[in-house]
């Protein structure tokens, strides 16, 4: 009996000592800066997620799942990149601290993401079941078909697509295709309507009001509604 | 005499106490160096305990305190500046006299007066490198929904033990650092409730030694769109006003205070107002205002409301505008249909004066309580055209006072249209109202006798019969000798055109002399004419010119000797 008590006491004394570094190591790698519709954060090793909102933290190996008509915009904490996860997508966020920088990897299992990567902010990679894209300061799309090919669409800068079969460079206006892990990446000119488009944001228009009140307390409001000019 | 002498002695002691200290604020101090404050007591030692110094950095809400040490007539304290922000530091001394009274030095602290000194960020010039603060959310000048206010920063990942560093955030100059949340190199802030509008944020990072190594300042704006958040929010205002006026032997003195409180919970809003006036009296019409309006908001524009207390419905200047009704008002504003129904009292009963020698004889008539009802349905056809019907009824209550003149009844019915076109550059408002009044609502009379008394023609009689039947049955009017069954008319048509830097208003107005509405008793009557008014803007709205031309006639009825 005494042994059990000593054991319990030892565990209770040692637990905080071991838990402290674990706690200290818990640091988000990215933050959700916008979420619309049904966007879930799935912790590592779990199947069910919880709804995210602006400000939700993403830790290493956590995944983002977006349902239909939903999207999320996620920013890495080192300001190294912004990812827009489109509807019906599933991707895992990985981040490893390397001295001054954060080495980032997004593993896209399904769906489409748009990446805006800033220069000199640590390594940034997007991996899919078929290939890996490494970038330094660029904008590009990645689309992963269900149990199928990966498509890359260059918007700006240069993207290196690679897998075990080869390497290809993707430039702005080009489409990179990797049919499977066993096929070489191919790059060609982007065709019309091939590239995913950013969903039309069904957001509330920006508003601000000026309130006027007369001596009787009747109020009238002058309300300004601002919408972004669409091209 | 003894009491006076005692008071003088106490006053002298108090005065001598207040002026028996000397303090010279230090000009500046380097961050990290102790801030030494000295307080010299020049008179007799009247303090029981050493004084306490209260200090804070500019922008902080609360003061920190430190007891001073005594060195004869000299008190001193050394404030560690490592945890203070560079910039101004405000401080004051608190003392307790031998008789137990508390004093502050300088006088008036902490409310109106303090000493100030400045902490210089001198040490940061040494070898410390500035760090870059990453603004994660929001973007600079971003417009956020009220439910999405979230501020987040990150510091370089090579900083070791970031939890030992100090972080300060001020929003619109108010220190909110205690609410910062830190997770490793990420520092976040979620405000409880922030008003809409532009906000200035300043975020500063200090080393564990208190040296400023980085700062970020930016603005963002919170949109005015309704919050979907379940959180309760409120805003309010309070005022106190005193006026003492004497002009040409006319005195106007009053004190009034008011409170306005607006509370929101989900789609509900309650707007309460209270104003208390020192001149409130049962012999005057009410001056105090009490009201509460409960709204269920479908959106900002469309809502259901229940308004109680002193309500101020607003229909049209010819019908009901600026009139206080003590009662209730219920209504709806929706896309296709608006409705308002108000019931209450538009005048308070004030008893008249009887002759003290002969109580049957009235010297001055009082004011009857006036019961008031109004109804306005309005139909909206898109956002460009609306058509409203209205009814306003005011009836004196003859039983409300013992000494009064003839109790009166008023009814106004009419219609108004509003049209706006070309993005409200063309706005047209038309209103046609008919008023019927009964200047003596006592006694009884049959319609034929009334018609004979008023010498109505056959056609007028027919019309009067219809009016009487229509409005006496629901109780808006009573058939008594004072009834004038033929309506008096009021017409107002306004057209506003806003083109070519001109704001041109064309109005036609024709209000009969007998027209009267209990909803706007100060309406100018017996007037007809055309009013043209143009505001012209020149040089990109830097010069304005007002041109008007009015052709109108007053005393149209020619029943007044002078106008």
Q: Does the residue B140 lie in any domain?
A: yes
B477 CB neighbour count, 10 Å cutoff:
24
Q: Looking at the structure, tell me whether residues B154 and B236 fall in a common domain.
A: no
> In angstroms, rounded to a whole number, what is the distance separating the alpha carbons of residues B256 and B245?
14
Say what the ipTM of the complex is.
Answer: 0.78
Overall number of domains in chain B: 4
Q: Looking at the structure, tell me whether residues B67 and B91 fall in a common domain.
A: yes
Structure tokens at A121: 């902010």
- Decide if A157 contacts A137 (C-beta within 8 A): yes
- Decide if A58 contacts A77 (C-beta within 8 A): no
Q: pLDDT class for B13, splitting at 50, 70, 90? A: very low
Q: Does the residue A153 lie in any domain?
A: yes
Domain boundary residue among B164, B199, B222? B222
B384 CB neighbour count, 10 Å cutoff:
13
Q: Does the residue A6 lie in any domain?
A: no
Overall number of domains in chain A: 1
Cα distance from N-terminal residue to C-terminal residue, chain A: 77
Chain-wide mean pLDDT for chain A?
Answer: 83
What is the predicted pLDDT for the residue at B107? Answer: 80
Choose the closest CB to B322 out of A28, A75, A216.
Answer: A216
Task: Give me the domain span that covers residue B251.
Answer: 232-311
What CATH number should be reported for the domain holding residue A36? 2.60.120.1440
**Residue B503 burial (10 A CB sphere; 0-12, 13-18, 19+):** middle
Q: Looking at the structure, tell me whether residues B116 and B248 fall in a common domain.
A: no
- What residues form DSSP beta bridges with B364? B353
pLDDT per residue over B298-321, tens digit each?
Answer: 876 789 999 999 999 999 999 999
Q: Looking at the structure, tell me whether residues B12 and B104 fall in a common domain.
A: yes
pLDDT per residue over B390-438, tens digit each?
Answer: 999 999 999 999 999 999 999 999 999 999 999 889 999 999 999 999 9
Q: Does the residue B316 lie in any domain?
A: no
Q: Does the residue B59 lie in any domain?
A: yes
Q: Looking at the structure, tell me whether residues B64 and B192 fall in a common domain.
A: no
Q: Looking at the structure, tell me whether residues B474 and B404 fall in a common domain.
A: yes
Over B136-164, what HEC string results? EECCCCCEECHHHCCEEEECCCCCCCHHH
pLDDT per residue over B482-530, tens digit each?
Answer: 999 999 999 999 999 999 999 999 999 999 999 999 999 999 999 999 9
Verify whether the Cβ–Cβ distance A79 to B154 is below 8 Å.
yes
Residue A24 has pLDDT above 50, yes or no: no
Chain-wide mean pLDDT for chain B?
Answer: 87
Which of B103, B92, B114, B4 has its CA nearest to residue B46? B103
- Decide if B348 contacts B286 (C-beta within 8 A): yes
Q: Does the residue A142 lie in any domain?
A: yes
> In angstroms, rounded to a whole number, what is the distance separating the alpha carbons of residues B138 and B281?
55
Which of B169, B161, B108 has its CA nearest to residue B133? B169
- What residues form DSSP beta bridges with A132? A127, A162
Q: Does the residue A41 lie in any domain?
A: yes
What is the predicted pLDDT for the residue at B122? Answer: 61
Which residues of A fall within a CB distance of 8 Å from B158? Answer: 99-100
Which of A45, A41, A47 has its CA nearest to residue A66? A41
The verdict on B324 touching A (C-beta cutoff 8 Å) is yes
Q: Dump strand ranges (E) for B207-288.
A: 212-222, 233-247, 250-265, 268-277
Q: Does the residue B129 lie in any domain?
A: no
Give how far B146 is from chain A: nearest CA, Å.
11
Q: Does the residue B298 lie in any domain?
A: yes
Which residues of B fall within a CB distance of 8 Å from A208? Answer: 196-197, 221, 223-224
Residue B325 has pLDDT above 60, yes or no: yes
> In angstroms, rounded to a whole number, what is the distance separating the alpha carbons of residues B189 and B178?
10
> In angstroms, rounded to a whole number, what is the distance separating the alpha carbons of residues A77 and B157?
9
What CATH number should be reported for the domain holding residue B159? 2.60.40.1220
Q: Does the residue A158 lie in any domain?
A: yes
Verify whether the Cβ–Cβ distance A31 to B312 is below 8 Å.
no
Q: Does the residue A39 lie in any domain?
A: yes
Task: Give me the domain span that covers residue A47.
Answer: 29-189
Q: Does the residue A36 lie in any domain?
A: yes
Q: B60 or A204: which carries more pLDDT confidence?
A: B60
Q: Looking at the structure, tell me whether residues B300 and B328 fall in a common domain.
A: no
The verdict on A208 touching B (C-beta cutoff 8 Å) is yes
Rounded to two decimals, the pTM is 0.56
Residue B8 has pLDDT above 80, yes or no: no
**Residue B375 burial (10 A CB sphere; 0-12, 13-18, 19+):** middle
How big is chain B by its Cα radius of gyration, in Å? 35
Of A216-220, B50-54, B331-335, B495-499, give the lowest mean pLDDT range. A216-220
Q: Looking at the structure, tell me whether residues B267 and B332 fall in a common domain.
A: no
Helix (H) or strand (E) holding B67: strand B64-67
How big is chain A by its Cα radius of gyration, in Å? 23
What is the predicted pLDDT for the residue at B16? Answer: 41
Average pLDDT estimate for B222-236: 71
Domain boundary residue among B258, B287, B311? B311
Q: Does the residue B128 lie in any domain?
A: no
Q: Looking at the structure, tell me whether residues B362 and B504 fall in a common domain.
A: yes
Which residue in chain B is spatially nearest to A54 when comparing CA positions?
B148
High-pLDDT (> 90) share of chain B, %: 54
Q: B15 or B361: which carries more pLDDT confidence?
A: B361
Tokens 């102790």 belong to which residue? B34
Long-range contacts of residues A68-71, Cβ cutoff 8 Å, at least 24 apart: A68/A37, A68/A38, A69/A37, A69/A199, A70/A35, A70/A36, A70/A37, A70/A38, A70/A39, A71/A34, A71/A35, A71/A36, A71/A37, A71/A39, A71/A199
Q: Does the residue A1 lie in any domain?
A: no
Of B140-149, B281-290, B507-516, give the lowest mean pLDDT range. B140-149
Domain boundary residue among B120, B154, B169? B120
The verdict on B297 touching A (C-beta cutoff 8 Å) is no
Q: Looking at the structure, tell me whether residues B295 and B276 fall in a common domain.
A: yes
Q: Looking at the structure, tell me whether residues B301 and B341 fall in a common domain.
A: no
Q: Looking at the structure, tell me whether residues B145 and B39 fall in a common domain.
A: no
Q: Does the residue B560 lie in any domain?
A: no
Q: Does the residue B40 lie in any domain?
A: yes
The verdict on B196 touching A (C-beta cutoff 8 Å) is yes
């Amino acid at each position: 009996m005494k042994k059990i008590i000593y054991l319990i006491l030892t565990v209770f004394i040692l637990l905080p000592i071991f838990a402290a570094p674990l706690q200290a190591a818990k640091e988000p790698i990215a933050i959700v800066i916008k979420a619309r519709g049904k966007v879930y954060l799935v912790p590592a090793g779990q199947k069910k997620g919880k709804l995210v909102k602006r400000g939700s933290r993403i830790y290493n190996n956590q995944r983002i799942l977006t349902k239909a008509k939903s999207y999320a915009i996620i920013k890495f904490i080192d300001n190294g990149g912004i990812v827009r996860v489109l509807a019906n997508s599933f991707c895992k966020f990985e981040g490893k601290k390397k001295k001054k920088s954060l080495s980032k990897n997004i593993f896209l299992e399904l769906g489409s993401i748009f990446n805006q990567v800033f220069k000199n902010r640590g390594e940034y990679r997007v991996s899919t079941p078929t290939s890996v894209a490494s970038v330094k300061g660029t904008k590009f799309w990645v689309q992963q078909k269900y149990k199928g090919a990966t498509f890359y669409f260059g918007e700006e800068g240069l993207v290196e697509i690679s897998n075990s079969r080869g390497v290809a460079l993707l430039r702005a206006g080009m489409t990179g295709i990797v049919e499977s892990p066993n096929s070489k990446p191919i790059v060609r000119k982007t065709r019309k309507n091939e590239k995913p488009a950013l969903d039309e944001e069904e957001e509330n228009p920006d508003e601000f009001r000026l309130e006027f009140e007369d001596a009787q307390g009747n109020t009238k409001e002058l309300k300004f509604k601002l919408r972004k000019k669409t091209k | 005499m003894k009491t006076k002498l005692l008071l003088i002695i106490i006053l002298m002691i108090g005065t001598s106490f207040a002026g028996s200290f000397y303090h010279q604020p230090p000009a500046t101090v380097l961050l990290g160096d102790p801030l030494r404050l000295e307080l010299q007591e020049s008179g007799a030692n009247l303090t029981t305990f050493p004084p306490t110094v209260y200090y804070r950095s500019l922008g902080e809400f609360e003061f920190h305190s430190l007891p001073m040490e005594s060195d004869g007539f000299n008190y001193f304290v050394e404030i560690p500046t490592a945890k203070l922000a560079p910039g101004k530091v405000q401080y004051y001394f608190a003392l307790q006299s031998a008789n137990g009274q508390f004093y502050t030095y300088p006088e008036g602290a902490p409310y109106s007066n303090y000493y100030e000194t400045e902490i210089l960020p001198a040490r940061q010039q040494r070898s410390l490198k500035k760090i870059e603060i990453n603004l994660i959310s929001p973007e600079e000048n971003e417009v956020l929904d009220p439910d999405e206010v979230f501020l987040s920063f990150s510091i370089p990942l090579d900083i070791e033990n970031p939890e030992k560093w100090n972080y300060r955030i001020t929003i619109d100059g108010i220190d909110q650092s205690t609410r910062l949340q830190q997770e490793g190199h990420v520092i976040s802030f979620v405000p409880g409730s922030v008003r809409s509008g532009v906000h200035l944020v300043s975020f500063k990072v200090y080393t564990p030694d208190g040296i400023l190594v980085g700062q970020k300042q930016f603005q963002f704006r919170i949109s005015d769109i309704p919050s979907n958040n379940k959180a309760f929010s409120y805003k309010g205002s309070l005022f106190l006003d005193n006026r003492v006026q004497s002009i040409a032997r006319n005195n106007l003195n009053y004190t009034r205070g008011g409170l306005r409180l607006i509370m929101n919970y989900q789609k509900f809003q309650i707007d309460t107002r209270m104003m208390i006036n020192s001149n409130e009296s049962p012999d005057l019409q009410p001056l105090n205002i009490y009201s509460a309006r409960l709204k269920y908001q479908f959106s900002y524009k469309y809502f259901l409301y229940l308004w109680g207390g002193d309500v101020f419905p607003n229909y049209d200047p010819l019908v009901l505008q600026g009139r206080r009704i003590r009662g209730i008002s219920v209504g709806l504003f929706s896309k296709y249909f608006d409705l308002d129904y108000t019931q209450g009292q538009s005048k308070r009963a004030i008893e008249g004066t009887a002759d003290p020698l002969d109580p049957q004889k009235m010297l001055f008539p009082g004011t009857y309580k006036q019961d008031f009802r109004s109804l306005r349905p309005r139909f909206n056809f898109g956002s460009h055209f609306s058509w409203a019907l209205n009814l306003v009824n005011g009836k004196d209550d003859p039983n409300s006072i013992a000494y009064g003149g003839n109790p009166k009844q008023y009814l106004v019915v009419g219609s108004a249209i509003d049209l706006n076109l070309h993005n409200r550059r063309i706005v047209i408002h038309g209103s046609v109202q008919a008023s019927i009044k009964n200047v003596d609502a006592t006694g009884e009379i049959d319609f034929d006798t009334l018609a004979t008394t008023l010498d109505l023609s056959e056609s007028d009689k027919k019309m009067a019969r219809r009016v009487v039947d229509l409005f006496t049955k629901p109780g808006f009017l009573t058939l008594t000798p004072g009834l004038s069954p033929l309506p008096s008319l009021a017409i107002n048509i306004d057209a506003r055109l806003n083109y070519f830097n001109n704001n041109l208003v064309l109005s036609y107005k024709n209000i009969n002399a007998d027209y009267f509405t209990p909803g706007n008793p100060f309406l100018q009557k017996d007037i007809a004419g055309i009013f043209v008014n143009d505001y012209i803007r020149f040089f990109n709205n830097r010069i304005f010119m007002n041109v008007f031309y009015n052709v109108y006639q007053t005393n149209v009825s020619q029943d007044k000797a002078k106008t």
